[in-house]
């Protein structure tokens, strides 16, 4: 009987020691990784009624650059549904080239492109969430996290300060097939937006980006400067927001093929 | 060139009318005015020494858009020096006309588009010189019938540059997933053809005269259909968006495809030698076309298809049946009737596939069924055109390569176009391209079989 009691006592000490070690190595966070990304999605959904003018510079490995400037109109049409019209203003060969997106959810969207010289609207497949954001090094995930949270697992690795802001450093791993195996994102604890992101493909760094010049516009936090590099190719994109308005209420007619042909005018 | 010059002031009246419309839009007070332009220097080197050589061309494009509230004015003007014009055949006018088939202007000024647009209560009304793009296929869209083509440098020019703007009234509206467009082209505008002897001429060339004197071949400008409501063209398109986007097209008007009718071969003496009227003029045929087109996305493929049933389409019989004598004699020789009419069924399908971000592959197959084909026709009862285009961007889109292949299996005719462009800056770009054509003389590509060439273009855009 005593033997049993002695054994139980030792077991209890062992369990307590292990628990102490575990707690010490995995600090308690106020939120889980999944909850962090639920908040990221909330911010994304809040920002869906907007007008943005942006400029993009694409850098190749040899230092060559190409520039684009465009205006984007966005309208929220459902819980995760939205419509977007993007019209390029420069360079000259892209002027008035437009893209129209009708998204039923963050994962399911239709895309059309319009080329004014040809006067033709062309439907474009968008079955991949890894599609580039209008020819840049950005993908849609970079701005608002993965599309369907149930298809990803989230682990908070640590907390860290990035650009003077405390961040959750979250590892995001897809359960579905993506171009990458995982990414690590620095999510601002007070704003729930990405400040830094690093993608890995076959355990090798694949893409890396930063989101800076964060401003609060109409109560919505927004990075005005974004930079993304394809580590494999050395190709980089810098995206700068030149003007931004939230809480817009564009009519549905702005997001039609006729409007696409008229460059949104 | 001494073609019969039409004295119709139609072109001038149209320009003045549109300019008046433009003046009505107070540009100074416009919400926005945008100007864009392009300068292009181009030249070709013919690989076949027997082919006709073209000189270099310099062209400028100016596009101006002014908007105020619901009003918009849009102008697309092109002009410059056309190196394909033979100095001996040069026209005296500068502005490209809307009432002539043979136009050899250099320098030239061409109003590709010039219209005023107003949108009121969801109805969009556009009046002026316009280009349309109905249907879904590339290169030879079946339902795209409003704009005739300029066949000068046919095949070399991209389709959007071949299209001639037509004066038209277009009314369009959208209701949820439905879009409706009604187009009326009140006056007939003919296609433009290169003169016989031009590098891209598509008609038989008379090479031998009755004697060894110098010959000048002067085709006759055709009489155009009178400008009446009965001779206007009209079309209606209704389109629905959805998983499968589809559209119904109805067109009633003049066929934009070139067909000729014979008059009489005339050989006359002049001070410098012989003047030959080859005895054929363009014939303008009214057709009715009922068509459908559709597009959808299937996995990684974007699929496009269209079809049209056309009543009253005209064809020319094989050139050996035109009745040309082996050696033309002085005087007038009557020629045979060369036009036959048949209903046709055209259909085609195309797929775009983007295996990688910078690669786009397009493949397209289309067929024409000639439903009442006589044996005298060069075209078979089924004519097929297979077409593929591979476009690749390299080095941050600094370099663009394209390979374009077309094949007409019924006649073994084919075309290979390959090009490489280098983008120096966002404004400057240079392009080298090669064009190879092969096939029997009357086939779609074989008629230009001597025109294999290497081309160079330098483009500045702003």
Enclosing domain of residue A225 = 32-261
- Do the Cβ atoms of A265 and B67 come within 8 Å? yes
Residue B4 C-alpha, separation from nearest chain A C-alpha, in angstroms: 34
pLDDT at residue number B129: 97
SS (H, E, C) chain A: CHHHHHHHHHHHHHHHHHHHHHHHHCCCCCCCHHHHHHHHHHHHHHCCCEEEEEEEEEECCCCCEEEEEEEEEEEECCCCCEEEEEEEEECHHHCCCEEEEEECCCCCEEEEEEECCCCEEEEECCCCCCCECCCCCCEHHHHHCCCCHHHEEEEEEEEEEECCEEEEEEEEEECCCCCCCEEEEEEECCCCCEEEEEEEECCEEEEEEEEEEEEEECCEEEEEEEEEEECCCCEEEEEEEEEEEECCCCCHHHHCHHHHHCCCC
Q: Is residue A252 part of a domain?
A: yes
- A41 CA to centre of own chain: 10
pLDDT at residue number A18: 55
Find the Cα–Cα–Cα–Cα dihedral B169, B192, B341, B184, rounded to 10°. Answer: 0
A123: which chain B residues are within 8 Å (Cβ-Cβ)?
Answer: 245, 295-297, 302, 304
Which of A122, A124, A253 comes nearest B122 by C-beta?
A253
pLDDT at residue number B120: 82
Q: Which chain A residue is nearest to residue B160, measuring alpha carbons?
A: A118
Q: Which of A109, A63, A67, A8 is nearest to A242 (CA)?
A: A67
CB of B297 less than 8 A from some CB of A: yes
- Do the Cβ atoms of B174 and A93 come within 8 Å? no
Residue B186 C-alpha, separation from nearest chain A C-alpha, in angstroms: 22
CB of A158 less than 8 A from some CB of B: no
A4 phi and psi angles, rounded to 5 deg: -65, -45
B354: which chain A residues are within 8 Å (Cβ-Cβ)?
Answer: 125
Whether residue A15 is predicted with pLDDT greater than 70 in this model: the reply is no
3-state secondary structure of B439: coil
Per-residue model confidence as pLDDT tens digits over A227-253? 999 998 888 999 999 999 999 999 988
Residue A125 C-alpha, separation from nearest chain B C-alpha, in angstroms: 6
A139: which chain B residues are within 8 Å (Cβ-Cβ)?
Answer: none
Per-residue model confidence as pLDDT tens digits over B243-256? 899 999 999 999 99
Q: In this structure, are residues A161 and A167 in contact, taking their beta carbons and an 8 Å threshold? A: yes
Q: Which chain A residue is nearest to residue B67, measuring alpha carbons?
A: A265
Q: What's chain A's Rg over C-alpha atoms? A: 23
Whether the model pTM is above 0.90: no
Count, residues in chain B: 462
Q: Is residue A19 part of a domain?
A: no
Whether residue B230 is predicted with pLDDT greater than 60 in this model: the reply is yes
What residue has token string 């300060």?
A161
Per-residue model confidence as pLDDT tens digits over A25-49? 455 678 999 999 999 999 999 999 9
DSSP state of B231: G
Strand order in the sheet with B274-277: B215-217, B274-277, B264-269, B331-334
DSSP state of B83: T
Cβ pairs A/B, distance under 8 A? 87
pLDDT at residue number B318: 93
B394: which chain A residues are within 8 Å (Cβ-Cβ)?
Answer: none
Q: Is residue A171 part of a domain?
A: yes
Per-residue model confidence as pLDDT tens digits over A52-65? 999 999 988 877 78
DSSP state of B397: T
pLDDT at residue number B329: 87
Q: Cβ of B256: how many Cβ atoms within 10 Å?
A: 20
Q: Round to the nearest angstrom and report the end-to-end CA distance of chain B.
A: 36
pLDDT at residue number B34: 86
- Band (B117; pLDDT cuts 50, 70, 90): very high
3-state secondary structure of B34: strand
Q: How far apart are CA A224 and CA B388, in angstroms?
A: 42
Residue B243 C-alpha, separation from nearest chain A C-alpha, in angstroms: 9
Q: In this structure, are residues A227 and A236 in contact, taking their beta carbons and an 8 Å threshold? A: yes
CB of B19 less than 8 A from some CB of A: no
CB of B157 less than 8 A from some CB of A: no
What does DSSP say about strands B382-394 and B399-408: parallel, antiparallel, or unpaired?
antiparallel
Per-residue model confidence as pLDDT tens digits over A177-190? 888 899 999 999 99
CB of B226 less than 8 A from some CB of A: no
Q: Which of A140-154, B17-31, B58-72, B336-350 has the highest mean pLDDT?
A: B336-350
Count of domains forming chain A: 1
Give the max Cα distance, chain A.
92
- Do the Cβ atoms of A91 and B461 come within 8 Å? yes
Which of A67, A120, A265 comes nearest B426 by C-beta?
A67
pLDDT at residue number A127: 60
Q: Is residue A4 part of a domain?
A: no
Domain harbouring A224, CATH code: 2.50.20.10
Which of A118, A235, A256 comes nearest B160 by C-beta?
A118
Whether residue B442 is predicted with pLDDT greater than 50 in this model: the reply is yes
Q: Is residue A2 part of a domain?
A: no
Whether residue B31 is predicted with pLDDT greater than 80 in this model: the reply is no
**B253, β-bridge pairs:** B287
Average pLDDT value for residue range B58-63 = 95
Window B:42-71, CB contacts with A under 8 Å: 67
Per-residue model confidence as pLDDT tens digits over B232-287? 999 999 999 888 999 999 999 999 999 999 999 999 998 888 899 999 999 999 99
- Band (B443; pLDDT cuts 50, 70, 90): very high
B18 phi and psi angles, rounded to 5 deg: -70, -35
Q: Which two tokens stand for residue B445?
A: 């590509």
Whether residue A77 is predicted with pLDDT greater than 60 in this model: the reply is yes
Q: How far apart are CA B131 and CA B78, in angstroms?
A: 14
Angle (CA) A78 A84 A88, round 5°: 175
**B76, β-bridge pairs:** B63, B113
Average pLDDT, chain A: 86
- Do the Cβ atoms of B354 and A125 come within 8 Å? yes
Whether residue B4 is predicted with pLDDT greater than 70 in this model: the reply is no
Per-residue model confidence as pLDDT tens digits over B375-422? 999 999 999 999 999 999 887 778 999 999 999 999 999 999 999 999
Whether residue A13 is predicted with pLDDT greater than 90 in this model: the reply is no
Q: Is residue A15 part of a domain?
A: no
Contacts of A190 (CB under 8 A, 6+ apart): A165, A166
- B192 CA to centre of own chain: 8
Per-residue model confidence as pLDDT tens digits over A87-130? 999 888 888 999 999 988 887 888 899 988 888 898 888 766 67
Residue B287 C-alpha, separation from nearest chain A C-alpha, in angstroms: 24
B396: which chain A residues are within 8 Å (Cβ-Cβ)?
Answer: 58-61, 64, 66, 235
Angle (CA) A257 A259 A265, round 5°: 165
Q: How far apart are CA B166 and CA B145, in angstroms?
A: 11
pLDDT at residue number B210: 76
pLDDT at residue number B86: 83
What percent of chain A clears pLDDT 90, i.e. is strictly above it?
55
CB of A118 less than 8 A from some CB of B: yes
Residue B320 C-alpha, separation from nearest chain A C-alpha, in angstroms: 38
Q: Is residue A14 part of a domain?
A: no
3-state secondary structure of B157: coil
User: B259 versus B32: which is more confidently predicted?
Assistant: B259
Q: Round to the nearest angstrom and report the end-to-end CA distance of chain A.
A: 88
Q: Is residue A8 part of a domain?
A: no
Residue A260 C-alpha, separation from nearest chain B C-alpha, in angstroms: 12
pLDDT at residue number B27: 44
Whether residue B305 is predicted with pLDDT greater than 50 in this model: the reply is yes
Contacts of B53 (CB under 8 A, 6+ apart): B46, B199
């Amino acid at each position: 009987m005593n033997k049993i009691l002695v054994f139980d006592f030792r077991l209890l000490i062992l369990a307590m020691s292990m628990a102490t070690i575990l707690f010490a190595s995995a600090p308690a966070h106020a939120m889980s990784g999944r909850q962090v990304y639920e908040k990221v999605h909330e911010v994304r959904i809040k920002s869906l009624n907007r007008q943005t003018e942006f400029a993009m510079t694409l850098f190749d490995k040899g230092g060559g650059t190409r520039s684009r400037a465009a205006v984007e109109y966005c309208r929220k049409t459902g819980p995760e549904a939205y419509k977007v019209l993007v019209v390029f203003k420069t360079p000259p060969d892209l002027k008035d080239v437009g893209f129209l997106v009708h998204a039923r959810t963050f994962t399911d969207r239709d895309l059309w492109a319009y080329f004014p010289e040809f006067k033709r609207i062309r439907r474009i497949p968008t079955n991949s969430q890894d599609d580039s954001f209008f020819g840049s090094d950005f993908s849609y995930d970079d701005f608002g996290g993965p599309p369907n949270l149930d298809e990803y697992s989230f682990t908070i690795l640590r907390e860290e300060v990035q650009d003077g802001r405390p961040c959750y450093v979250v590892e995001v791993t897809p359960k579905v097939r993506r171009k990458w195996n995982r990414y690590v994102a620095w999510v601002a604890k007070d704003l729930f937006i990405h400040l830094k992101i690093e993608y890995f493909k076959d355990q090798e760094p694949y893409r890396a980006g930063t989101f800076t010049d964060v401003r609060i516009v109409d109560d919505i936090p927004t990075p005005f400067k974004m930079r993304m590099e394809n580590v494999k190719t050395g190709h980089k994109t810098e995206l700068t927001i030149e003007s931004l308005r939230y809480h817009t209420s564009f009519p549905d007619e702005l997001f039609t093929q006729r409007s696409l042909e008229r460059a949104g005018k | 060139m001494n073609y019969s010059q039409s004295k119709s002031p139609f072109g001038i009246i149209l320009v003045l009318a549109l300019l008046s419309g433009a003046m009505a839009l107070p540009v100074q007070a416009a919400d926005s005015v945008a100007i864009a332009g392009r300068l292009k220097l181009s030249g070709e080197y013919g690989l076949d020494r027997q082919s006709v050589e073209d000189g270099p061309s310099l062209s400028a494009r100016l596009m101006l858009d002014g908007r105020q509230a619901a009003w918009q004015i849009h102008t697309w003007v092109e002009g410059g020096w056309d190196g394909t014009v033979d100095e001996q055949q040069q026209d005296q006018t500068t502005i490209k006309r809307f009432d002539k088939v043979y136009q050899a202007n250099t320098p030239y000024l061409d109003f590709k588009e010039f219209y005023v647009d107003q949108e009121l209560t969801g109805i969009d009304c556009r009046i002026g010189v316009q280009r349309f793009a109905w249907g879904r296929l590339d290169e030879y869209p079946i339902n795209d019938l409003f704009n005739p083509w300029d066949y000068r440098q046919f095949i070399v020019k991209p389709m959007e540059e071949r299209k001639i703007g037509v004066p038209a009234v277009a009314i369009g509206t959208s209701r949820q997933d439905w879009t409706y467009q009604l187009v009326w082209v009140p006056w007939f505008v003919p296609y433009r053809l290169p003169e016989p002897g031009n590098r891209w001429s598509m008609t038989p060339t008379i090479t031998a005269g009755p004697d060894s004197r110098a010959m000048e071949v002067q085709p006759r400008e055709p009489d155009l259909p009178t400008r009446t409501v009965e001779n206007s063209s009209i079309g209606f398109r209704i389109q629905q968006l959805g998983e499968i986007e589809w559209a119904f097209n109805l067109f009633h008007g003049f066929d934009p495809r070139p067909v000729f009718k014979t008059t009489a071969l005339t050989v006359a003496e002049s001070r410098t030698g012989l003047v030959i009227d080859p005895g054929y003029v363009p014939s303008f045929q009214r057709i009715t076309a009922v068509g459908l087109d559709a597009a959808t996305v299937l996995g990684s493929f974007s699929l496009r298809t269209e079809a049209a049933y056309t009543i009253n389409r005209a064809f020319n019989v094989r050139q050996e049946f035109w009745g040309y004598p082996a050696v033309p004699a002085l005087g007038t020789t009557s020629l045979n009737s060369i036009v036959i009419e048949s209903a046709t069924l055209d259909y085609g399908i195309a797929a775009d596939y983007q295996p990688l971000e910078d690669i786009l592959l397009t493949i397209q197959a289309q067929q024409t069924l000639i439903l009442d084909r006589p044996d005298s026709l060069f075209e078979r009862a089924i004519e097929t055109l297979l077409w593929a285009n591979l476009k690749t961007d390299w080095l941050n889109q600094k370099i663009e390569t394209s390979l374009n292949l077309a094949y007409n299996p019924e006649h073994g005719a084919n075309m290979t176009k390959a090009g490489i462009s280098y983008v120096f800056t966002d404004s400057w770009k240079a392009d080298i391209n090669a064009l190879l054509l092969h096939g029997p003389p009357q086939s779609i590509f074989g008629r230009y079989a001597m025109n294999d060439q290497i081309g160079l273009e330098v483009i500045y855009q702003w």
